[in-house]
Amino acid sequence: METIKIGLIGLGTVGAGVLEIISDPENQAKIENTIGRKLAVKTIVVHNPNKPRPVDTTGINVTTDVDEIVKDPEISIVVEVMGGIHPANEIIEELLQAGKNVVTANKDLIASNGPKLSALANANGCDLMYEASVAGGIPILRTITNSFTADQILEVKGIVNGTTNYILTQMREKQWSYDHALKRAQELGFAEADPTNDVAGIDAAYKMIILSLFAFGTQIKLSEFNVSGIENITDQDVKQAGQWGYVIKLMGVAKLVNEKLFVEVAPTLVPKSHPMAVVDNENNAVMVTGAAVGDTLFYGPGAGGLPTANSVLSDITSEAKNITLKTTGKSFNSYQHERQLADPADVKYSYYLAMTMPDVSGQMLAFTTLMTKVGASFERIEQTNREDKLADVAVITHAMTNQQLAELKQLVAESETLKLDAAYKVLPS
């Protein structure tokens, strides 16, 4: 039986998972039965070849020189799991120019340069696949490509970052502070030593860029939409949301509004009756809403070596089939549709507002006056007096536009006594 030889760039958590799965005799037998070919890792590129590894590399060429993969005619599939945009971008460009088929889990790179790299792959008659770049163990990209071809996708929303979901789960279930939950996430390996990309929403934003490209055919930039993280969520926000029947999640959303595209990543109050409300800890979920099929939910582990490696293996086996059938050179995602970004005046949500104001008469009236000035109104409101002569006021508004919210924030900022501590959208039931 013919063997398809693989190069692996990176042997961290995901790279080790790929090697572990592909080396398992039972998995190998299933792969051979499915594609009619054997798969074998021939060369692995690492920074330090002498570093102890959690997987057996016996019989595999372990090197620091990427040219040993680029210039090896026997290697037809290369898996890039080193992460980061540079030098990964330059290495993948070199691989594609050499006619190598590339599989990557690099969301940062795909969100930034995916279309350019895909075009380079097409020009050289090879493939670029990246299922594992979004939501780890959930095969969401291939599902959108294959299962929604004849349906118009109206919205894609989800919990696509395991680190922030773990932190928010612990804040709710164990009444931990944000700092305590973050520290525990770091101890468990769910958060990096520098967690900025996760907690500031950037990681989720990269994934929403990729999901938007697949669902709507539109390439957007990180600078073109609102990205807010969880760093400022307080114990009181979590408690108040729970008392009102909500849980707080970091949600990514991409949807059509009057045929224009709205994309956002931000903390969101999710009704406890909503399927997303029970997606806890490091798990992810993506809900795709189609004009014909309605709501469909995809749930699974959002990170981790083996779940992500499983998605990488899915791409490897798909690539091996393409090589066998001589059908390489087709785009992983060929859907393209230029769209304008939605007008803030057309995007409506209810909002949870957390305010601080002096505990004296007239302050609620002052805030109500500002709400009236922008044409907004309350659905519910609750005031909690403090010992320092201040009052915490929590509000859920009726549906208002992003433009109204921006105007309200400006008016509150100009006030000498009112302070807006948080403004989170509320997901409809």
Give the CATH number of the domain where residue 89 resides. 3.40.50.720
Give the residue from 5, 68, 10, 1 showing the smallest Cα distance to 40: 5
**What is the spatial distance between Cα 370 and Cα 354, in angstroms, rounded to a whole number?**
15
- DSSP secondary-structure letter at 58? T
Residue 425 forms beta bridges with which residues? 268, 351
Q: Report CA-CA distances (Å) from 188 to 171, 182, 272, 372, 416.
A: 16, 10, 27, 47, 44
Whole-number Å distance between alpha carbons of 121 and 259? 31
**For residue 420, what is the domain's CATH number?**
3.30.70.260
Give 245's contacts (C-beta < 8 A, 6+ positions apart): 271, 272, 273
Q: Is 11 one of the annotated binding-site residues?
A: yes
Burial class (CB in 10 A: 0-12, 13-18, 19+), 182: buried
**Is position 116 annotated in a ligand binding site?**
no
Residue 12, annotated as binding a ligand: yes
Assess whether 81 and 126 both reside in one domain.
yes
Same domain for 169 and 234, yes or no, is: yes
Q: Do 287 and 256 lie in a common domain?
A: yes
In angstroms, the CA 270 to CA 429 distance is 8
Known binding residue 15? Answer is yes
Alpha carbon distances (Å) from 38 to 86, 95, 103, 398:
32, 22, 17, 59
Q: In a 10 Å sphere around its CB, with 0-12 CB exposed, 13-18 middle and 19+ buried, how is residue 276 labelled?
A: buried
On whether the CB atoms of residues 302 and 137 are closer than 8 A, the answer is yes
One domain, residues 153 and 292: yes
The answer to whether residue 164 is domain-embedded is yes
Residue 189: phi, psi to the nearest 5? Answer: 85, 10
What does the DSSP assignment read for 307-324? HHHHHHHHHHHHHHHHHH
First to last CA, the chain: 54
Residues 93 and 107 in one domain: yes
pLDDT of residue 188: 87
From first to last of its 429 residues, the chain has per-residue pLDDT tens of 899 999 999 999 899 999 999 999 999 999 999 999 999 999 999 999 999 999 999 999 999 999 999 999 999 999 999 989 999 999 999 999 999 999 999 999 999 999 999 999 999 999 999 999 998 889 999 999 999 999 999 999 999 999 999 999 999 999 999 999 999 999 988 888 899 999 999 999 999 999 999 999 999 999 999 999 999 999 999 999 999 999 999 999 999 999 999 999 999 999 999 999 999 999 999 999 999 999 999 999 876 788 889 999 999 999 999 999 999 998 888 888 999 999 999 999 999 999 999 999 999 999 999 999 999 999 999 999 888 999 999 999 999 999 999 999 999 999 999 999 999 999 998
The answer to whether residues 310 and 282 belong to one domain is no
Distance CA 135, CA 311 (A): 9
Q: Output the domain CATH number for residue 204.
A: 3.30.360.10
Please report whether residue 338 resides in a domain. Answer: no
Can you tell me the distance from the alpha carbon of 22 to that of 233, in angstroms, rounded to the nearest whole number? 42
Provide the pLDDT for residue 189.
83
DSSP-H helix ranges across 176-228: 178-187, 196-199, 202-216
- Quick one: 234 and 372 in the same domain? no
| pTM of structure | 0.94
Residue/partner pairs of 296-302 with CB below 8 Å, 24 or more apart: 298/135, 298/138, 298/139, 298/140, 298/143, 299/138, 300/135, 300/136, 300/137, 300/138, 301/136, 301/137, 301/138, 301/162, 302/135, 302/136, 302/137, 302/138, 302/159, 302/160, 302/161, 302/162, 302/165
Concerning whether 207 is annotated as a catalytic residue, the answer is yes
Residue 374 domain-assigned?
A: yes
Q: Examine residue 254 and state whether it is found in any structural domain, yes or no.
A: yes
Domain that holds residue 115: 3-136+305-325
Residue 16 marked ligand-binding:
yes
Task: For residue 317, give Cα distances in angstroms to 5, 121, 194, 264, 313.
Answer: 12, 18, 34, 33, 6
Question: Any known ligand binding at 229?
Answer: no
Of 181, 15, 25, nearest in space to 104 by CA: 15
> What pLDDT is stored for residue 331 in this prediction?
86
152 and 290 share one domain: yes
Domain count, the chain: 3
> Which of 253, 219, 206, 202 is CA-nearest to residue 104?
206
Inter-axis angle of helices 178-187 and 162-173, to 10 degrees?
130
Q: CA of 264: how far to CAs of 12, 143, 161, 395, 402, in Å?
A: 31, 22, 14, 22, 11
* Residues 6 or more apart whose Cβ sits within 8 Å of residue 301: 136, 137, 138, 162, 282, 283, 284, 307
Q: How far apart are CA 387 and CA 391, in angstroms?
A: 9
Catalytic member of 207, 249, 255, 425: 207
Eight-state DSSP code of residue 59: T
52 burial (CB, 10 Å; 0-12 / 13-18 / 19+) is exposed
pLDDT at residue 191, rounded to an integer: 87
Residues 371 and 249 in one domain: no
Q: Does residue 389 contact residue 358 with C-beta atoms inside 8 Å?
A: yes
In a domain, 331, yes or no: no
Peptide bond preceding 87 in cis form (omega within 30 of 0): yes
Chain-centroid distance of CA 203 in Å reads 6
Residues 242 and 349 in one domain: no
Are 279 and 401 found together in one domain?
A: no
As given in the structure block, the two tokens for residue 292 are 């014909």
Please give the Cα distance from 254 to 286 (Å, whole number).
Answer: 11
- 14 annotated as belonging to a binding site for a ligand: yes
Are residue 380 and residue 277 in the same domain, yes or no? no
